[in-house]
A = this chain, B = another copy of it.
């Protein structure tokens, strides 16, 4: 029963893995890190926790877990249009397993290097495997993408295929009829669950084009629901326009749509664009984005099939503490 260990355990594995940023005045190894924010910029911060058995399977490769632990935070920065800068790591471990630590650090460091984000501090404690990462990004004053700027008539876009991570979870839990899937489909789905790609470059391009944005961590309907709620609008989603991967297309269509609408962990962006910006958007992004609906009056989300029939959807995302 005592306080804090130093962070030397993680630092040891990280030392030669990450580059140094000029705006880190003091990094790991003091009571605090000291960071320099450029003038005319705001700092965007987000913290996320992953718990073994809740957010990831116990047998996940440590390198994949390292990747994903940082990717979920980078995805939040992407949703604000921010540029990644620094992160901290609070890690609870049942034991200091060297192989696990080496793999975890490698996955974390590779993604950190790819996005130019530097580890500046952390805490390592003994306890049930729990990973909290706080990311810090910088964004030019007044340029951040928020959830509350959407307006009736704006078109709703998503940045890529939905439902893949949810299918991978069902596959792992043997809840999916996988008879139609090839091995490469299963591998693809697993990668989408374990190695999501934060859409940083896309988020930065959306500044000035999109009126609102969010990353899809809890499922499209749940996350679009936050835009709808914060912006005080309604939404109409066309099921036929949901982007589905070729792997997901091999499943029953209703199941695939259900996964695309309600399962989480895809880490694509959902954003809204006024009609007058659509041409600029499509010139800039080409087929990277998919229009899936439009914002309406009201405060509800309605889903329609290809025949224009209203479809009721069960389950709208994950709630850790349902009422």
| Chain A residues within CB distance 8 Å of chain B | 1-6, 9, 25-26, 29-37, 39, 42-57, 72, 76-77, 79-80, 82, 86, 88-93, 95-96, 120-128, 130, 132, 134, 136-137, 139, 141, 144, 146-148, 166, 169, 172-173, 213-215, 217-219, 226, 230, 263-265, 317-321
Contact = CB atoms under 8 A, between A and B. Distances in A.
B2 A55 contact: yes
A26 B72 contact: no
A124 B320 contact: yes
User: What is the total number of copies of this protein in its complex?
Assistant: 2
A90 B230 CA distance: 23
A46 B121 contact: yes
Given A47-B121, A124-B320, A134 B88 contact: yes
A241 B183 CA distance: 71
Counting chain B CB atoms within 10 Å of each CB, the highest count among A1, A125, A263 belongs to A1
A43 B79 CA distance: 23
A191 to B, nearest CB: 16
A217 B43 contact: no
A31 B215 contact: yes
A99 to B, nearest CB: 15
A4 B130 CA distance: 14
A175 to B, nearest CB: 11
Contacts of A79: 31-32
Contact of A3 (B29, B55, B82, B214): B55
Contacts of A3: 55, 72, 217-218, 264-265, 318
A200 B130 CA distance: 30
A82 B92 CA distance: 27
B321 A9 contact: yes
B263 A31 contact: no
A109 B39 CA distance: 31
Contact of A321 (B46, B96, B134, B169): B96
Contacts of A214: 31
A43 B72 CA distance: 23
Contact of A123 (B43, B47, B92, B120): B47
A32 B127 contact: no
Contact of A128 (B130, B137, B173): B130
Nearest to A95: B321
Contacts of A36: 42-43, 141
A57 B1 CA distance: 8
11 contacts: A1-B169, A4-B264, A4-B318, A26-B144, A31-B46, A37-B43, A39-B39, A47-B132, A49-B125, A51-B92, A128-B128
